[in-house]
Amino acid sequence: MKICHVVGARPNFMKAAPLIAEMGRFPDRFEQILIHTGQHYDNNLSEIFLNELELPRPHEFLNTGSGTHAEQTARILAAFEPVILKHRPDWVVVVGDVNSTLACALVCSKTGIPVAHVEAGLRSGDRTMPEEINRLLTDQIADLLFTPSDDADVNLLREGIPASKIHLVGNIMIDSLVKALPLASRRPALKELGLEAGRYVLVTLHRPSSVDDLELLQKILSALAQIAQTQTVVFPVHPRTRKAIAQLNAPALPAGLKMTEPLGYLDFLALMKSAGVVLTDSGGIQEETTYLDIPCLTLRDNTERPITLRLGTNQLVPRTAEAILRAVEEQLARPKRRAALPPFWDGRTAQRIVQVMRAV
């Protein structure tokens, strides 16, 4: 069975790597092709992840680059079609909810190639999010839908997806996390930044809704500066975010706010697992902090991972300085308690996917 895996942006690498490795255990059953669309192309967002996750070198690199959502999606559509017609796989596996996910699934639907969607069924209910549109449309196209949690199954059934296509397999990002934790524990990231475990706040911001609105970004930075008066704040800055910050007339930032270049997966994981609190607008980090039992404050109005809210490991926080400060203070003062993990968030999701794929 010839399987084509599609990756494009940083979160895709963590989701594809365990599945590629597990299929690699059955060379008599699977021939694998890796296609990198080039949606993320910066070394800190792409190359280092390929290396740290032990992914094979891509067979095809489409070099589609950045641009508006329409421009990027159109370039991926045009570049992916001749490549997939050349290889003619039995299945194309797409992961997550980025533009590459939808564009490649759409090409497959028009060329008669079956699509498997890993991390299907997640919904925020907010159709102003480009990722929500990508999720909705990819799931309508896909022939196999691998879900991370039971709420995703409910979403798909409500949208008319036949139950026969849906397979609850668990969270594949946790597979990568479990494998990487021993390596991350040996990374010198904390020592290099002068950090003490449990005594710093880790921040990530990259969504256009957070960083393209300069007035909103200014409020978030103001909150971080105030937090940094009493707590060390570590902020690996995404290229999009750095560009936006450069447009602000920001005052000098306090010494307690450590702004770094984007980090590789292992270094970031080393920081995340020892943080007191994580502030983010990311989706995957909400899941990783749940597994690590680190309090997560999500600077968004909604989340496609509501299971993390139910478990109490994650909290949505309005993007105002006052709300952010209050939420951080409350989390740091709250006694630690171990939350229960959702079913199948156990590091064996790739095994369950492969069991299904071997039977199709």
Tokens of 139: 């799931």
Quote the CA–CA distance of 278 and 324 in Å, as a whole number. Answer: 11
pLDDT, tens only, 182-239: 999 999 999 999 999 999 999 999 888 888 899 999 999 999 999 999 999 999 998 8
Q: What angle do CA 170, 176, 182 make, to 5 degrees?
A: 130
Is the Cβ–Cβ distance between 1 and 31 less than 8 Å? yes
Is the Cβ–Cβ distance between 181 and 269 less than 8 Å? yes
Quote the CA–CA distance of 225 and 212 in Å, as a whole number. Answer: 19
Tokens of 142: 């896909």
Q: What angle do CA 162, 167, 168 make, to 5 degrees?
A: 125
pLDDT score of 67: 82
Quote the CA–CA distance of 91 and 194 in Å, as a whole number. Answer: 47
Give, as one character, the DSSP assignment of residue 91: E
Collapsing DSSP states into helix, strand and coil, what is residue 257? Answer: strand
Tokens of 168: 């609850």
Could you tell me which CATH number the domain at 2-171+344-359 has?
Answer: 3.40.50.2000
pLDDT, tens only, 108-144: 999 999 999 999 999 999 999 999 999 999 999 999 9
Q: Which amino acid is at 130?
A: P
Collapsing DSSP states into helix, strand and coil, what is residue 31? Answer: strand
Closest CA to 113 of 90, 80, 93: 90
Tokens of 105: 């699934």
Tokens of 196: 């003490």
Sign of the alpha-carbon dihedral angle for 48, 209, 257, 234: negative
H or E stretch including 157? helix 150-158
What is the mean pLDDT of the segment spanning 86-93?
98
pLDDT score of 48: 80
User: pTM of the predicted model, to two decimals?
Assistant: 0.94
pLDDT, tens only, 244-289: 998 987 667 788 999 999 999 999 999 999 999 999 999 999 999 9
Quote the CA–CA distance of 325 and 237 in Å, as a whole number. Answer: 20
180-333 sits in which CATH class? alpha beta
pLDDT score of 336: 78
pLDDT at 40 over 70: no
H or E stretch including 298? strand 296-298
* Residue 206 bears catalytic tag: yes
pLDDT at 162 over 60: yes
| Phi, psi dihedrals of residue 52, rounded to the nearest 5° | -70, -30
pLDDT at 42 over 60: no
Tokens of 326: 């209050």
H or E stretch including 306? helix 306-311
Tokens of 175: 């597979």
Quote the CA–CA distance of 233 and 203 in Å, as a whole number. Answer: 7
% of the chain exceeding 70 in pLDDT: 97
pLDDT score of 65: 77
Cβ burial of 114 (10 Å; 0-12, 13-18, 19+) is middle
Starting at the edge strand found earlier in the chain, the sheet holding 31-36 runs: 60-61, 31-36, 2-7, 91-95, 115-118, 144-147, 166-168
On average, the pLDDT of the chain sits at: 93
Quote the CA–CA distance of 238 and 39 in Å, as a whole number. Answer: 14
Quote the CA–CA distance of 165 and 198 in Å, as a whole number. Answer: 43
- State the span(s) of the chain assigned CATH 3.40.50.2000: 2-171+344-359, 180-333
Is the Cβ–Cβ distance between 19 and 118 less than 8 Å? yes
pLDDT at 178 over 90: yes
List 5, 40, 167, 206, catalytic entry: 206
Tokens 């397979």 found at: 167
Tokens of 113: 């190639």
pLDDT at 44 over 60: no
What is the mean pLDDT of the segment spanning 331-351?
90
Q: Which amino acid is at 67?
A: G
